[in-house]
Amino acid sequence: MLRSKIAGIGHYVPENVVTNDDLTKVMETSDEWIQERTGIQERRYGTKHKETTSTMGTAAAKIAIERAGIQKEDIDFIIFATLSPDYYFPGSGVLLQRELGITNTEIGALDIRNQCSGFIYGLSIADQFIKTGMYKNILLVGAEMHSMGLEFTTKGRNVTVIFGDGAGAVVLQPTENENQGVLTTKLHSDGTYAEKLAMITPGSHGGYHFDKMGIDMDFGWTDEQYGEIFMNHHQIDNNMIYPVMEGQFVFKLAVKKFPEVIMEALQTAGLEVGDIDMLIPHQANLRIAQFVQRTLKLSDDQVYNNIQKYGNTTAASIPIALCEAWEQGKIKEGDLVCLAAFGSGFTWGSALIRW
């Protein structure tokens, strides 16, 4: 049976380091508050006119392609996961194709909208295409340029201090080696709490979901303001165009769903927690990762975290962390690697990979 293996991996983060102290210049916050609640010390922000979500994804992809020992022309499918695309449409997959200089139009480019679990959703899709024999070199990218869409005011501080920019990429190839590759992926979703962590403007909802669900986003919208779709001056003038999050609600669900979905994958593969050599949790919050580590009774060298340096880079966080852990020799051939994510949607998922 064909399996998918990670044949090459790369990551890219912008040079521009933004510390917690830097953020105190534009909002009421402190290094102490941010580190205590999230573990984050600094994050990277891309530079306008130089970096975008798709260019950072391209930089990571070039490294992954080189390490896979293939040429860009060998890529037969692109999957791009992001919540901060360069354009509302078209998606970032085609922009990455253009940036990479891939002129072959025989290939497809798919964009994924699954926020923090985007990379795991993408991995699961790639895995199915490889297993059926449809594609042989799938480029899977997770990238975010959050800094262009955050609210740099005290009102937006609970969200803004968490997020950072960056990108990670892998090339997936088929293997017949039974002791290598993706063993299983698990995907979940629950739309009940869609607005608990969301960016709702620009959008075409026209107030529908708020009316139906009785949601008060505290925006004080009138019917007239709902009437204009996507985005209007009222929304911009009142800072309604930024992500919103009920942090504690997200936290409570995340610490429950991470262990659940990891155990589910292990059960399917007939493995146990003790078999995990490296857990790469989505870097949402160091406190969440530590909670999961304690729940599963994993040792420090069984978990890799780098949120301290990069913040939460959403779809990019798992491939960046995976790449760093591999570069540092913390993941070796034959190791059992577990990926797990939870985020907006809510969507969550896990993957087990024999490296």
* Maximum Cα interatomic distance, the chain, rounded to a whole number of Å: 61
* Residue 341 C-beta: closest distance to ligand COA, Å: 8
**Residue 242 interacting with ligand COA (CB under 6 A):** no
116 catalytic? Reply is yes
Cβ proximity to ligand COA, 107 vs 187, nearer residue: 187
Q: How many CB atoms lie within 10 A of CB 2?
A: 15
CA distance 88 to 59: 21
Active-site entry in 11, 20, 114, 116 = 116
Q: Which residue is nearest to ligand COA (CB)?
A: 247
Q: Using the rule CB under 6 A, is 161 a contact of ligand COA?
A: yes
* Number of residues written out for the chain: 355
Q: Which of 340, 311, 314 is nearest to 167 (CA)?
A: 314
Q: Decide the pairing of beta strands 108-112 and 181-189.
A: unpaired
DSSP state of 203: B
Residue count, binding to ligand COA (CB under 6 A):
21
256 binding ligand COA? (CB under 6 A):
no
Q: Does 292 bind ligand COA (CB under 6 A)?
A: no
The rounded radius of gyration (Å) of the Cα atoms in the chain is: 20
Q: What angle do CA 109, 111, 116 make, to 5 degrees?
A: 145
d(C-alpha 68, C-alpha 235), whole Å: 46
Cβ nearer to ligand COA, comparing 4 with 38:
38
**Residue 49: how many CB atoms within 10 A of its CB?**
6
d(Cα 214, Cα 194) in Å, to the nearest integer? Answer: 13
User: Binding ligand COA by CB under 6 A: which of 17, 247, 308, 355?
Assistant: 247
Binding flag, residue 312, ligand COA (CB under 6 A): yes
282 is catalytic: yes
* Distance separating the N- and C-terminal Cα atoms of the chain: 17
Which of 20, 285, 306, 312 is labelled catalytic?
A: 312
Question: Of the two residues 99 and 195, which places its CB atom closer to ligand COA in the complex?
Answer: 195
Query: By C-beta, is 37 or 131 nearer to ligand COA?
Result: 37
Q: Which whole-number Å values give the CA distances from 153 to 157, 161, 312, in the listed order?
A: 6, 10, 19
Question: Closest separation between CB of residue 29 and ligand COA, Å?
Answer: 3
Segment near ligand COA (CB under 6 A), from 52-60, 156-164, 255-263, 297-305?
156-164
Q: Is 209 a catalytic residue?
A: no
Q: Which stretch binds ligand COA (CB under 6 A): 41-49, 53-61, 235-243, 282-290?
A: 282-290
Give me the catalytic one of 11, 114, 146, 282. Answer: 282
Decide if residue 116 touches ligand COA (CB under 6 A): yes
DSSP per-residue codes, 258-269 = HHHHHHHHHHHH
Closest by CA position to 78, among listed 137, 6, 5, 145: 137
309 contacts ligand COA (rule: CB under 6 A): no
Under DSSP, is residue 12 helix (H, G, I), strand (E, B) or coil?
strand
Binding of ligand COA by 33 (CB under 6 A): yes
72 binds ligand COA (CB under 6 A): no
CB distance 146 to 43 below 8 Å: no
What positions carry a catalytic annotation?
116, 282, 312
Residues that bind ligand COA (CB under 6 A): 29, 33-34, 37-38, 116, 157-158, 161, 197, 245, 247-248, 250-251, 254, 284-285, 288, 312, 343
